[in-house]
Amino acid sequence: MEKIYLITGATSDVGFELINTLKSDDAKFLLQGFGDFEKLKTFCTDNGVNAEFFDVNLSDSEATDNFVAQLGNYAPTHFVHLPALRVINTKFKSFDEERFLMDMNVQVMSAVKICKAIVPKMAKAKFGRILFMATSYVLANPPKNTAAYLMAKNAVVALMKSLATDYAANNVTVNSISPSMIETKFLAETSHLIVEQAAAAHPMKRNATVKDVVPAMAFLLSDDAGYITGVNLPITGGSIIE
């Protein structure tokens, strides 16, 4: 069976590392991002990765609808949903409703629309792997001043659980991962003091890296994980133990 990986948020550090891990001669990649694709395009060309690129602003409902319409030409076997607006730590009295709705479009509504388009095809084919990016914030007491990000991620986990229940009989597995803080460009708008404090407070005295997270993602997308569905996997290095 030809593997067709649809990865949204593919230009992120996690997305880049995941493509590097999953690449093979018989795999095709459908890669969504917004903005700078040049580094990823160069990597795919240099490494013979069979990829198509979709520059789509997922906060724009019309752009997302057009993207989903294009996906009608494909039958992805794997879907990985990574995008989110960057975390901005803001006191609740300054909650930015407009930005929150944008992030809900990026993280949740785009996932809903994409899944409506591709999951029935997976169900008909009796095979599919779906993986969402959540956060360790949903596992225990979250950090202060993260209401918008936390609400969006809880919605992602709720979608995951619902789809896992609905499609288990069709051999479509749906899971999510909840890593603790990963040191990537996603933290560009997070104070370096917060990042340093998180590392100092961690049992391993460091934050996660993409290489800590991606192997678990690759496993959940593999044939070997066919009996795992509805799981939100903590990847926390012991900072949260359930």
Q: Say whether pLDDT at 187 is over 60.
A: no
Q: Say whether pLDDT at 133 is over 70.
A: yes
Q: How do residues 145-182 score in pLDDT, each as one tens digit? A: 889 999 999 999 999 999 999 999 999 999 999 998 78
Q: How far apart are CA 62 and CA 57, in angstroms?
A: 9
Q: Say whether pLDDT at 82 is over 80.
A: yes
Q: How far apart are CA 171 and CA 144, in angstroms?
A: 39
Q: Which residue has the higher pLDDT, 240 or 9?
A: 9
27-33/50-55 β-pairing: parallel
In order of 83, 106, 111, 189, the CA distances from 58 in angstroms are: 9, 5, 10, 20
Q: Say whether pLDDT at 191 is over 80.
A: no
Q: Say whether pLDDT at 194 is over 90.
A: no
Q: Report the candidate in 111, 106, 149 with the shortest Cα–Cα distance to residue 130.
A: 111
Q: Say whether pLDDT at 52 is over 90.
A: yes
Q: How far apart are CA 205 and CA 193, in angstroms?
A: 15
Q: Say whether pLDDT at 188 is over 80.
A: no
Give me 101's structure tokens: 């709705």
